């Protein structure tokens, strides 16, 4: 649950860009990336959702979805009791079936991090090792409209309180105005604020809010920018803006992380968030991941679902599968 160091990310960005990451250098690089074939992208996403599924794979796919969920509550009316209930659900998603995997993380506002950490107790840990992580939204979520000083303080406090992961939002206004250097600097500074005194670092998920970026080309550019600046994950959405996650946008972001790995050898995570409510939809995402970047990405440190209602449908389908009344997807999963 720790990411690359700021120095390494900054040096890597300079090596990739061929210069300091200021507005001019970033604009030259980002606008030099080939444009997105929207028709081809959408057709590919549609094709990935229409494959046949092996009956034996259904249980595996449903369990995999559960294990990749960031169980989320991000409401102004959140209370300590609600967060404790969320943690209990993350630890025991189905009280009638103790074979159900835990979710990867709980995602809360920063002030609720100590509550979540305390409620998890000994189960607080790396989801790749069977623990449940605590993710905190930060940087004036969901708007991102505050000073950098406040964003950094927000992040540092959440990390100090025990957050394993920070979900930050980019300044979409600055990005759309072409102020790429500013967006880069803010992401890099937040990455530095994720550092702990022992030298480790909370993982940084960079929320692009793709529904506000208007075009696929902008989504691709923002994805590259977030990775160049040191993000450990790129995330579609806050869940507060529509459209939130879509399969074509997630496919595009997966293509970016695939290309980044080819370029640098580094693997970056992807998190679609918002609007994924059914097991049928979630399995389409699993397939898209497996066929775009490979099955190795289907683990918590490389792929997550940001969801609040998805878990309930997946648990329903798991119960129906046990009783022979399964009504979930009959298309693709991975052998």
Mind giving me the DSSP string for 139-180? Answer: SSTTTT-S-HHHHHHHHHHHHHTT-SEEEEE--HHHHHTT-H
Q: Is residue 98 part of a domain?
A: yes
Give pLDDT, residue 57: 85
pLDDT score for 335:
40
CATH of the domain at 67: 3.20.20.70
Q: If DSSP codes are grouped into helix, strand and coil, which group holds residue 303?
A: strand
Give residue 332's pLDDT. 41
334 in a domain, yes or no? no
Q: pLDDT of 23-75, one tens digit each? A: 999 999 999 999 999 999 999 999 998 865 576 788 999 999 999 999 999 99
Beta-carbon contacts of residue 86 (< 8 Å; ≥ 6 apart) = 71, 73, 106, 108, 116
Asked, for residue 156, whether it belongs to a domain, the answer is: yes
Annotated catalytic residue, options 58, 89, 151, 235: 235
Q: Is 151 a catalytic residue?
A: no
Is 167 tagged catalytic? yes
- The number of domains in the chain is 1
Is 271 an annotated catalytic residue? yes
294-317 b/e (C-beta count within 10 Å ≥ 16 → b): eeebbbbbbbbbbbbebbebbbbb
Q: Which tokens is 76 given?
A: 């102004």
Query: Where is average pLDDT lowest: 161-165, 260-264, 304-308?
Result: 304-308
- The whole-number pLDDT of residue 81 equals 98
For residue 326, pLDDT beyond 70:
no
In a domain, 239, yes or no: yes
Domain range for 146 is 6-323
The residue-averaged pLDDT of 304-330 equals 84
- Catalytic pick among 70, 167, 171, 313: 167
Q: What is the pTM of this model?
A: 0.93
- % of residues, the chain, pLDDT over 90: 87
In a domain, residue 93? The reply is: yes
Q: So what's the pLDDT on residue 6?
A: 47
Residue 55 maps to a domain = yes
pLDDT of residue 294: 95
- Looking at the domain assignment, is residue 264 inside a domain? yes
Question: Using CA atoms, how far apart are residues 178 and 26, in angstroms rounded to an integer?
Answer: 9
Hey, how many other C-beta atoms are within 10 angstroms of the C-beta on 293? 22
Q: Which is it for the CA torsion 170, 171, 172, 178, positive or negative?
A: negative
Residue 70 maps to a domain: yes
The average pLDDT across 87-91 equals 98
């Amino acid at each position: 649950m720790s990411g690359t160091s700021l120095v390494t990310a900054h040096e890597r960005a300079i090596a990739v860009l061929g210069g300091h990451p200021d507005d001019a250098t970033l604009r030259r690089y980002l606008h030099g990336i080939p444009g997105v074939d929207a028709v081809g992208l959408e057709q590919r996403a549609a094709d990935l959702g229409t494959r046949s599924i092996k009956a034996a794979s259904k249980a595996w796919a449903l369990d995999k979805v559960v294990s990749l969920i960031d169980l989320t509550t991000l409401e102004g009316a959140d209370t300590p009791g609600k967060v404790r209930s969320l943690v209990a659900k993350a630890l025991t998603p189905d009280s009638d079936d103790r074979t159900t995997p835990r979710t990867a993380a709980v995602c809360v506002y920063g002030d609720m991090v100590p509550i979540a950490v305390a409620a998890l107790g000994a189960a607080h840990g790396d989801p790749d090792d069977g623990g449940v992580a605590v993710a905190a939204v930060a940087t004036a979520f969901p708007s991102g409209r505050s000073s950098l000083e406040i964003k950094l303080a927000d992040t540092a406090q959440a990390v100090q309180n025990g957050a394993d992961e920070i979900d930050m939002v980019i300044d979409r206004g600055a990005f759309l105005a072409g102020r790429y250097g500013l967006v880069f600097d803010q992401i890099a500074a937040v990455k530095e604020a994720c550092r702990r005194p022992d030298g480790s670092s909370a993982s940084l998920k960079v929320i692009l809010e793709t529904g506000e970026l208007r075009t696929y080309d902008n989504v691709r550019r923002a994805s590259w920018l977030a990775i160049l600046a040191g993000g450990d994950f790129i995330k579609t959405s806050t869940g507060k803006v529509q459209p939130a996650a879509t399969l074509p946008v997630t496919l595009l972001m997966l293509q970016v992380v695939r290309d980044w790995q080819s370029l640098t050898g580094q693997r970056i995570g992807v998190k679609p968030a918002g609007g994924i409510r059914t097991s049928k939809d979630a399995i389409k995402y699993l397939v898209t991941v497996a066929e775009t970047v490979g099955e190795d990405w289907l683990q918590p440190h490389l792929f997550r679902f940001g969801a609040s209602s998805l878990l309930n449908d997946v648990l329903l389908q798991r119960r129906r599968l046990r009783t022979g009344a399964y009504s979930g997807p009959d298309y693709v999963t991975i052998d």
